């Protein structure tokens, strides 16, 4: 279950956000592996992006991880209660990251279902099925990710990491090539011209893994 190497996170953040689609996010929790396919991402580039927490190289206690080595997890709270998972990118000192917005459950679905809704997936309501992992806070809740994981090394293969395609976990790839959509990011109305950057990427696939 080899994690992606640090070199993967060293390039252009927008390109990395696109490249992460279809990759498998793995969480080791109490001896169990939880895994999901990444289906939606957003890129944030500190040096010029007014939607980024580190725009203009503004460093704080909250965003300090973004200034560190690439391939680390940056987790922060929204609304004082929901965590969001970001993957730090670009060379150290260039504060950029990719937000993981949504995923498709692959392994440990029962555990993720209990963490999200306190019931097995077969008992989900239509609303719960639709809203299982379709948001960054929902995804973190399903993986039991909190601020305790802030700064975690995604290249260590322990606790939290990203795998290339899930083959080593026994997960099959979709039979058909996915359709990748690029759109403006959401929830950043304050970000002036950055509102229009097409830096949100969405993965659509027919025949995905069960």
pLDDT at position 117 is 98
In SS3 terms, 27-43 reads as: EEECCEEEEEEEEEEEE
Give the integer Cα–Cα distance in Å for 184 and 69: 27
pLDDT at position 177 is 67
Largest interatomic CA distance in the chain: 47
Q: In this structure, is residue 38 part of a structural domain?
A: yes
- For 106, residues 6+ apart whose C-beta sits below 8 A from its C-beta are 24, 35, 36, 37, 166, 169, 171, 209
Q: In this structure, is residue 1 part of a structural domain?
A: no
For residue 6, count other CB atoms closer than 10 A to its CB. Answer: 14
Q: In this structure, is residue 44 part of a structural domain?
A: yes
**Span 121-162, pLDDT tens digits:** 999 999 999 999 999 999 999 999 999 999 999 999 999 999
In SS3 terms, 151-187 reads as: CCECCCCCCEEEECCCHHHCCCCCCCCCEEEEECCCC
Q: Which residues pair with 128 in a beta bridge?
A: none
Give the integer Cα–Cα distance in Å for 55 and 46: 4
Task: Among 57-61, 94-98, 143-147, 163-167, name the one with the lowest average pLDDT.
Answer: 163-167
CB of 88 within 8 A of CB of 9? yes
Pairing of strands 96-107, 82-89: antiparallel
pLDDT at position 81 is 79
DSSP tag of 64:
G
Give the number of domains in the chain: 1
Q: In this structure, is residue 209 part of a structural domain?
A: no
Give the integer Cα–Cα distance in Å for 57 and 53: 9
Q: Average model confidence (pLDDT) for the chain?
A: 93
**Span 151-193, pLDDT tens digits:** 999 999 999 999 997 776 677 666 556 789 999 999 999 999 9
pLDDT at position 79 is 78
| Domain CATH number, residue 174 | 3.10.300.10
pLDDT at position 80 is 75
Query: Mean pLDDT throughout 66-77?
Result: 97
Per the structure, the complete domain to which residue 30 belongs is given by 6-204
Q: In this structure, is residue 80 part of a structural domain?
A: yes
Give the integer Cα–Cα distance in Å for 134 and 138: 7
């Amino acid at each position: 279950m080899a994690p992606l190497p640090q070199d993967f996170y060293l390039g252009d953040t927008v390109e990395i956000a696109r490249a992460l689609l279809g990759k498998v996010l793995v969480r080791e929790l109490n001896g169990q592996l939880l895994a999901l396919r990444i289906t939606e991402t957003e890129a944030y580039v500190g040096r010029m992006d007014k939607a980024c927490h580190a725009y203009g190289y503004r460093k704080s206690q909250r965003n300090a991880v973004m200034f560190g080595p690439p391939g680390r997890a940056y987790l922060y709270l929204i609304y004082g209660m929901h965590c969001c998972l970001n993957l730090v990118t670009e060379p150290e000192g260039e504060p950029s990251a990719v937000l993981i917005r949504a995923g498709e459950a692959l392994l440990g679905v029962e555990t993720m279902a209990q963490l999200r809704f306190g019931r097995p997936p077969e008992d989900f309501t239509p609303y719960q099925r639709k809203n299982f992992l379709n948001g960054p806070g929902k995804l973190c809740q399903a993986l039991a990710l909190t601020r305790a994981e802030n700064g975690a090394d995604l290249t260590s293969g322990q606790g939290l990491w990203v795998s290339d395609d899930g083959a080593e976990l026994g997960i099959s790839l979709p039979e058909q090539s996915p359709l990748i959509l690029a759109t403006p990011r959401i929830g950043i109305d304050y970000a002036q011209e950055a509102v229009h950057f097409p830096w949100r990427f969405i993965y659509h696939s027919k025949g995905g893994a069960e």
